[in-house]
Amino acid sequence: MNQDVLADLSSRLPGLRLLTDPGDLEHYGRDWTRRWAPAPLAIALPVSIEEVQGIVHWANERNVALVPSGGRTGLSGGAVAAQGELVVSLARMNQVLDFNAVDRTLTVQPGIALEAVHGAAREHGLIYPVDFAARGSCSIGGNIATNAGGIRVIRYGNTREWIAGLKVVAGNGELLDLNRGLIKNSSGYDLRQLMIGSEGTLGIVVEATLRLTDPPPASQVMLLALPDMDALMQVFALFRSRLSLQAFEFFTDIALKHVLAHGAQRAIDGDHPYYVVTEFDAVDERVQDIALEVFEQGVEQGWISDGVMAQSEAQAAALWRLREGITESLASHKPYKNDISVRIGAVPDFLQDIQSLLAREYPHIDVVWFGHIGDGNLHINVLKPASLSDADFIAQCEHVTKLLAQALQRHGGSISAEHGIGLVKRAYLESTRSAAEIALMRGVKATFDPNGILNPGKVFA
Ligand code: MLT
Ligand code: ZN
């Protein structure tokens, strides 16, 4: 049966590369969540917009589900193919197509890695400012599909701020050329923005025009040790009042323990429960003095217990590694990941609320807190104890996530700050979006993808 379906696709698109080797099915059928057993029908590797369109038309006719696929570094199961879907990998569509110096835009294919985008922008003396640890493996198409955030959101915002135009093959097979790089375009609904963050459920991004900007001025990186969680937002307010921040990230001693065990270098001696890595513009020595003043003030207030300022680029990179190495250092512990956000102003009350909740619900389990606290975004990673089966562990985490979702509702937050809903969080969508919103979202889905062939089961059941 599968053979017939694939033979039909091959006869329709004779040049299309299809993979059916078990190793390939396994590789392309899963993302970084590792929770679902991959079971795709096959992997299609189109090289052109026409091939993507051909696949989508064919899938509509044959009622075959498609899973659009980028670097599969996602953490919500958005790129998982576990139900016999055809994976549409954009890996071979990975070129820079155009740079426009006047518009300051870079037009790329969706399969290009974020790091390659950074490099291409730098070649023209500019930057593409969205950045995070998976930069070498994730693809720009996936970044767009999840409206990826990362470590510079505090300065530059999320992916959606940097997309000037998108070409998308919608679920009905239409090719849409959205916004065409315009800065000003007040001509009705912005379908480009609707596509960004839609997790491959409305269309497949086949080309993106990215906005670039000037590189930031010289910067300084500091690592701070904090005595308690209450101090976090006090230190944030203090630093933000005097310095122009590019990043303000936090992690706990448990995160530090794992990242050090994974090869990172300790930068501050002693035991401290919380740490912050911050980067700020440091155009001249005056800023260094201000940073030291602010640091001293934090120490006097009892909000900071120790700190170190990077003295070289290598040291700055080593401090960043303490934060950016966390995900990798936890991977072998099969973490259950919560990626939640509240308004920055609501963070202190929210933290109070959930600290006791998590301590109560996970008494004997390591819970690692880290994330983009300057954006109100926390990553809470619960590590699986060896004694618990995968199923029991996930059941326990799902129970706690329900309670967390209720807390988020009370504080007006979101169950997914930047990883997306995918499969992992779809049961909690109602905690963040109203019934009226979800009904409209379903209507949008039905309009773009009337036969429901695009990434079925993701975002909504
Ligand atoms: C991060 O901020 O490091 C990423 O969102 C990855 C993660 O949450 O594990
Ligand atoms: Zn993150």
- Read off the tokens for 32: 């970084």
Number of folded domains that form the chain: 4
Q: Do residues 231 and 272 both lie within one domain?
A: yes
* Residue 240 falls in which region: left (phi positive, over 0), alpha (psi -120 to 50) or beta: alpha
Q: Do residues 151 and 173 both lie within one domain?
A: yes
Query: How far lies 296's CA from each of 73, 305, 394, in Å?
Result: 40, 10, 44
Q: Whose CA is nearest to atom 9 of ligand 1?
A: 327
Identify the CATH number of the domain in which residue 157 sits. Answer: 3.30.465.10
Query: How far lies 407's CA from each of 233, 338, 353, 359, 382, in Å?
Result: 19, 13, 7, 14, 17
Task: Confirm whether 424 is domain-assigned.
Answer: no
How do residues 407-446 score in pLDDT, each as one tens digit? Answer: 999 999 999 999 999 999 999 999 999 999 999 999 999 9
Q: Do residues 127 and 189 both lie within one domain?
A: yes
Q: Do residues 245 and 292 both lie within one domain?
A: yes
Confidence of residue 2 (pLDDT cuts 50, 70, 90): confident
Ligand nearest the Cα of residue 329 is 1
Identify the CATH number of the domain in which residue 76 sits. Answer: 3.30.43.10
Q: Do residues 186 and 237 both lie within one domain?
A: no
Domain holding 81, by residue range, is 2-92
Average pLDDT over every residue of 230-254: 97
Ligand 1 atom nearest to 377, measured from its CA: 2
85 closest CA partner among 361, 457, 407, 427:
457
Which of the listed residues 327, 351, 367 is the one where a domain comes to its end? 327
Is the CB of residue 185 less than 8 Å from the CB of residue 146? no
133 lines ligand 1 (CB under 6 A): yes
Identify the CATH number of the domain in which residue 274 sits. Answer: 3.30.70.2190
Q: How far apart are the first and last CA of the chain?
A: 26
Is the CB of residue 338 less than 8 Å from the CB of residue 379? yes
Task: Confirm whether 23 is domain-assigned.
Answer: yes
How do residues 63-116 score in pLDDT, each as one tens digit? Answer: 999 999 999 999 999 999 999 999 999 999 999 999 999 999 999 999 999 999
Which of the listed residues 276, 311, 327 is the one where a domain comes to its end? 327
Q: Do residues 262 and 185 both lie within one domain?
A: no
Task: Confirm whether 119 is domain-assigned.
Answer: yes
Residues in a beta bridge with 379:
339, 370
> Under 8 Å CB-to-CB from 54, ≥6 apart: which residues?
12, 13, 16, 46
The confidence score (pLDDT) of residue 1 equals 65
How do residues 324-377 score in pLDDT, each as one tens digit? Answer: 999 999 999 999 999 999 999 999 999 999 999 999 999 999 999 999 999 999
The confidence score (pLDDT) of residue 399 equals 97
Confidence of residue 217 (pLDDT cuts 50, 70, 90): very high
Q: Do residues 120 and 104 both lie within one domain?
A: yes
Per the prediction, the chain carries an average pLDDT of 97
Q: Whose CA is nearest to atom 7 of ligand 1?
A: 327
Task: Confirm whether 449 is domain-assigned.
Answer: no
Task: Confirm whether 438 is domain-assigned.
Answer: no
89 lines ligand 1 (CB under 6 A): no
Q: Do residues 187 and 223 both lie within one domain?
A: no
Task: Confirm whether 206 is domain-assigned.
Answer: yes
Q: How far is the CA of 365 from the centre of ligand 2 (A)?
A: 22
Chain length of the chain: 461
The confidence score (pLDDT) of residue 47 equals 98
Identify the CATH number of the domain in which residue 337 sits. Answer: 3.30.70.2740
Q: How far is the CA of 371 from the centre of ligand 1 (A)?
A: 7
- Dump strand ranges (E) for 190-288: 203-211, 219-226, 245-252, 274-281
Q: How far is the CA of 251 from the centre of ligand 2 (A)?
A: 11
Task: Confirm whether 453 is domain-assigned.
Answer: no
Is the pLDDT at 285 greater than 80? The verdict is yes
How do residues 33-65 score in pLDDT, each as one tens digit? Answer: 989 999 999 999 999 999 999 999 999 999 999
Task: Confirm whether 10 is domain-assigned.
Answer: yes
220 lines ligand 1 (CB under 6 A): no
Q: Do residues 335 and 250 both lie within one domain?
A: no
Which of the listed residues 75, 92, 109 is the one where a domain comes to its end? 92
Q: Do residues 224 and 319 both lie within one domain?
A: yes
Query: How far lies 365's CA from each of 44, 151, 181, 359, 396, in Å?
Result: 41, 27, 49, 9, 11
Q: Do residues 20 and 76 both lie within one domain?
A: yes
Q: Do residues 239 and 256 both lie within one domain?
A: yes
